[in-house]
Amino acid sequence: MKDLILVTGGTGYIGSHTTVELMAKGYEVVIIDNLSNSTIEVLDGIEKISGIRPAFEQFDLCDKEKLNAFFSKYKNLKAIIHFAAYKAVGESVDKPLMYYQNNLISLMNLLENMDDFGVPNIVFSSSCTVYGQPDELPVTEKAPIKPAESPYGNTKQIAEEILSDTMKVKPNLNTIALRYFNPIGAHPSTEIGELPRGIPNNLVPFVTQTAAGLREGLKVFGDDYNTPDGSAVRDYINVVDLALAHVIAIDRMLEKKNPANFEFFNLGTGTGSSVLDIVKTFEKVTGKKLNYEIVKRRAGDIEQVWADTSVANEILGWKASRSLDETLLSAWNWEKKLRGIN
């Protein structure tokens, strides 16, 4: 029998790509998603790629009764990958309570049920935002946690604390927190990808929407940073590479290869790219000219961050392998498909 994995937020951006890779590895998946930031059609895309439709339950993880009934129904869960959360930095500043409630209560509800129903393993979606602007680059897992820049970032820090404190008193439970750098791109099949609502906050969806004619021009936020070309630097990681790291984390816990019951890993490429690098690379691989202008810095942005990936490389045996060229092309192919562009 296949091992059953619960993927919360499984119709979302990273969740859908991870569901595909889990099923390719022979896992069975059940998704919980309230569709607050995704659509039911994502399941069709997953099914087209995988030839299998994952089980799906639509409800809010903050609903304790429904979650309890879910755990009673799916008794043979082996692990959880918890993606479901609000993730817009700016929105979290305007609506802090909404973020704290949703992102933290859902996690605590899951942990209570894991303990009650004997589900031992959880992979948690964390973020490099926990490091703020690190003092040293590339940033290792030993870098100190900096005060959060936003309620969103704070929910990731507090969630890791909730997990770490809980693991101390629950030796039968295991957590792997994965600290993502900047996930971009789409599945090469173009059956699934990122579906931002409204005007995108993130760079790559804004770039692809600009190229598709939905936005007039990209605003490059700042060219006066202390970086080689003055624009801010991030570590952009292909979403399929990122998804594969989740499968490895699940394998690791199911095979009981984790020496400690709370572990955390940086997931990036190890290479920083500036905003202008992204613009130039996008133009090169797509042959499209991008309309952009330099404007002032965006509030709350850090100058530069990229990952030291040696711990993930050595301990997980995982390395990002997809190039920035290929990744930006996949983002563009997905945008073209969404907009019906040939």
The reply on whether position 208 binds ligand UFG by CB under 6 A is no
* Smallest gap from residue 59 Cβ to ligand UFG (A): 24
Catalytic choice (27, 99, 131, 152) = 152
Q: Which residues contact 112 (CB under 8 A, 6 or more apart)?
A: none
Does position 89 bind ligand UFG by CB under 6 A? yes
CB atoms within 10 A of CB 53: 14
Sequence-separated (6 or more) residues with CB below 8 Å from residue 342? 336
Start-end of H helices in the chain: 13-24, 42-50, 64-73, 89-94, 96-100, 106-117, 151-169, 203-211, 239-254, 275-286, 310-311, 324-339
Window contacting ligand UFG (CB under 6 A); options: 52-60, 72-80, 106-114, 201-209? 201-209
Instruction: Choose, by CB under 6 A, the member of 70, 71, 124, 206 that binds ligand UFG.
Output: 206
At a CB cut-off of 8 Å and minimum separation 6, what does 190 contact?
330, 333, 334, 336, 337
Amino acid at 266: N
Give min distance, CB of 8 to ligand UFG, in A.
17
The reply to whether 100 sits near ligand UFG by the rule CB under 6 A is no
Q: Which of 170, 289, 307, 295 is nearest to 231 (CA)?
A: 295
Residues binding ligand UFG: number (CB under 6 A): 21
Closer CB to ligand UFG, residue 45 or residue 153? 153
How far apart CA 328 and CA 334 sit, in angstroms, is 10
CA dist 162 and 50 (Å) reads: 34
Distance of CA 163 to the CA centre of its chain: 18
Residue 127 binding ligand UFG, by CB under 6 A: yes
Residue 152 designated active-site? yes
Is 298 a residue that touches ligand UFG (CB under 6 A)? Answer: yes
State the Cα–Cα distance between residues 66 and 91, nearest whole angstrom.
Answer: 27
Q: Does 327 bind ligand UFG (CB under 6 A)?
A: no
Of 77 and 320, the one with the shorter C-beta distance to ligand UFG is 320
Q: If binding is defined by CB under 6 A, does position 153 make contact with ligand UFG?
A: yes
Binding flag, residue 87, ligand UFG (CB under 6 A): yes
Least distance to ligand UFG, CB of residue 112, Å: 26
84 near ligand UFG, rule: CB under 6 A: no
Q: Please give the positions annotated as active site.
A: 152
Name the residues that contact ligand UFG, by CB under 6 A. 87, 89, 127, 129, 152-153, 182, 201-203, 206, 218-221, 232, 234, 275, 298, 301-302
